[in-house]
Homo-oligomer: A and B are copies of this chain.
Amino acid sequence: ERLGFDEVIYGKEKTINQLESIIKLYLEKDLRFFCTGLDNLKIDTLTKQFGSNVTFCRKSGTAKNFEYPPCKFKKTVGIITAGSSDAKVAYEAHETLKVLGVAAKTYIDVGVAGIHRFFKYSEDLKKHTVLIVIAGMEGALSSVVGGLFPQPIIAVPTSVGYGTALGGFTPLFAMLTSCANGITVVNIDNGFGAAMAAFRIINCLPEAQNDR
Contact = CB atoms under 8 A, between A and B. Distances in A.
B161 A177 contact: yes
B150 A200 contact: yes
Contact of A205 (B8, B181, B187, B206): B206
A105 B3 CA distance: 28
Contacts of A14: 85
A138 interface: yes
8 contacts: A115-B144, A138-B173, A151-B204, A161-B177, A165-B187, A182-B196, A183-B197, A184-B185
Q: Tell which of A144, A164, A180 has the most Cβ of chain B within 10 Å.
A: A164
A133 interface: no
* Interface of chain A: mostly helix, strand, loop or mixed: mixed
Chain A contact residues (Cβ within 8 angstroms of B): what range?
A: 35 or more
Nearest to A138: B174
B187 A186 contact: no
Given A115-B144, A115-B148, 14 more contacts: A14-B85, A112-B143, A113-B143, A130-B204, A139-B174, A144-B144, A152-B201, A154-B184, A170-B177, A172-B176, A182-B195, A182-B197, A182-B199, A185-B186
Given A40-B17, A186-B185, A204-B130, A164 B176 contact: yes
A201 B163 CA distance: 24
Given A138-B140, A143-B140, A144-B115, A12 B170 contact: no
